[in-house]
């Protein structure tokens, strides 16, 4: 599989190959210092038992509460799918675009049509560079006719937006604002939100927004989330001042519903086919590679960054000559249950003894399917449903140490979502969302 620890996967279509070196877990202590920001909810997360973190958007991000010896992430998952959970997701920094040209500017930097987003509605969007690579896939909130918030995934989009406008000169201000979100996710989240803000919260539509107060302070609530379950996000204004009041109000409202503070549930977002920037895609990934073709509209007349390249790539795909080597697919994977984060992009081969041709990006065990599920990049010309692959799992997940386990390409999402995204809705309506 490996020669001098250099992976054999052909990545000649990339400027900077994905690091596929299989280093495994590295037992080091995470340094907490002042060059990485602590969110307003950081100490509150520590009080709830957070024992590990990662860094996301240059901010410390809680990634585990239940200790491994007590079941770890799989116990947290049960709270999500059966009751209700609270997540510290302040790492979703809020970049405000405000001014007379806000709609025109946003329409220029996202691939979707910003003019079709009503006030007090949100959308999942992507931003691309001129080469068609995905820069960020935020939730975009339109909070006023002249004001949008980009709720970011893991890249510093503020600097890009400000840089774009240096040359374009739209009449807008672009800045990070003191707004920090939490997520309230799970089947009982609707009851928690209704108890906090009234029955309007119960009827809030998917991707709808509402203004309210939680803990006596102003918030915007959206019916969105990173799970596929019923869920909401609460965006607290002036969060550096009022984090404790809002957080404690949510905890108190959640007591009758067995609310638990947990980390983001990647096993559930994988099952829902929700992507994670930096794992499943990056700056050199085209939307067409990762099932985001629906984000590249055929009928958007206005120009936007990356439009010419993306339209050319669509034509190449239609002609059978895509300019990329891999396609993101869903895999059912053998082996023992994968019950924690993967420390590597595990390698994928076409045969049990063959060279690596792809790599797993996001694997977890699905209790509902009683199987390991994963997203993986595999050769685009061998990405059809039913295609057999072999995944090189490390101990303790491999059936036999040193031997790969069988996998099969299957449809995503792996299980239905309570709040289906646009790609799922297109599929349910029999519309082509691929190209």
Q: How far apart are CA 134 and CA 286, in angstroms?
A: 6
Q: How many CB atoms lie within 10 A of CB 13?
A: 12
DSSP 233-274: EEEEETHHHHHHHHHHHHHHHHGGGT-EE----HHHHHHTT-
- 8 Å CB contact between 295 and 400: no
The alpha carbons of the chain give a radius of gyration, in whole angstroms, of 21
- 8 Å CB contact between 60 and 233: no
Tokens describing residue 160? 């890009």
Helices 189-197, 239-254: crossing angle, 10 deg rounding: 120
43 is in an annotated binding site: no
Q: Look at residues 147, 305, 286, 297 and name the one whose alpha carbon lies nearest to residue 211.
A: 147
Q: Look at residues 208, 228, 201 and name the one whose alpha carbon lies nearest to residue 141.
A: 208
Q: How far apart are CA 434 and CA 18, in angstroms?
A: 24
Which residues carry a binding-site annotation? 233
Could you list the residues known to form a binding site for substrate, using ranges: 233
């Amino acid at each position: 599989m490996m020669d001098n620890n250099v992976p054999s996967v052909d990545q000649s279509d990339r400027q900077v190959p994905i690091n596929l070196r299989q280093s495994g877990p590295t037992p080091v202590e995470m340094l907490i210092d002042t060059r990485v920001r602590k969110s307003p909810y950081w100490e509150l997360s520590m009080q709830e038992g957070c024992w590990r973190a990662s860094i996301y958007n240059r901010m410390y991000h809680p990634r585990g509460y239940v200790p491994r010896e007590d079941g770890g992430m799989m116990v947290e998952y049960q709270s999500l799918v059966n009751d209700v959970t609270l997540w510290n997701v302040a790492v979703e920094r809020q970049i405000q675009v405000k001014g007379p040209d806000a709609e025109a500017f946003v329409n220029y930097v996202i691939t979707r049509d910003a003019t079709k987003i009503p006030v007090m509605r949100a959308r999942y969007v992507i931003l691309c560079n001129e080469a068609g690579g995905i820069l960020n896939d935020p939730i975009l909130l339109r909070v006023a006719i002249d004001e949008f918030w980009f709720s970011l995934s893991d890249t510093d989009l503020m600097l890009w937006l400000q840089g774009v406008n240096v040359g374009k000169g739209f009449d807008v201000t672009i800045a990070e604002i003191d707004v920090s979100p939490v997520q309230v996710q799970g089947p009982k989240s609707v009851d928690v939100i209704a108890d906090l803000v009234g029955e309007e919260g119960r009827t809030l539509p998917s991707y709808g927004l509402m203004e309210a107060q939680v803990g006596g302070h102003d918030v915007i609530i959206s019916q969105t989330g990173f799970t596929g379950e019923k869920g909401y996000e609460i965006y607290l204004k002036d969060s550096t001042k009022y984090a404790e009041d809002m957080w404690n109000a949510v905890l108190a409202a959640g007591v009758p519903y067995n609310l638990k503070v947990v980390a983001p549930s990647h096993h559930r977002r994988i099952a829902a086919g929700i992507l994670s920037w930096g794992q499943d895609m990056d700056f050199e990934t085209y939307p067409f590679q990762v099932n985001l073709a629906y984000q590249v509209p055929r009928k958007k007349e206005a120009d936007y960054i990356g439009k010419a390249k993306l339209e050319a790539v669509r034509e190449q795909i239609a002609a059978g000559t895509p300019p990329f080597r891999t396609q993101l697919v869903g895999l059912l994977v053998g082996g023992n249950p994968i019950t924690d984060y993967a420390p590597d992009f595990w390698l994928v081969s076409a045969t049990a003894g063959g060279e690596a041709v792809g790599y797993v990006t996001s694997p977890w065990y699905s209790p509902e399917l009683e199987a390991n599920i994963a997203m993986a990049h595999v050769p685009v010309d061998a990405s059809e449903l039913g295609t057999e692959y072999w995944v090189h799992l490390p101990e303790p997940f491999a059936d036999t140490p040193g031997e790969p386990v069988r996998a099969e390409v299957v449809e995503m999402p792996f299980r239905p979502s309570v709040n289906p995204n646009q790609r799922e809705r297109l599929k349910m309506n029999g519309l082509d969302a691929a190209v």
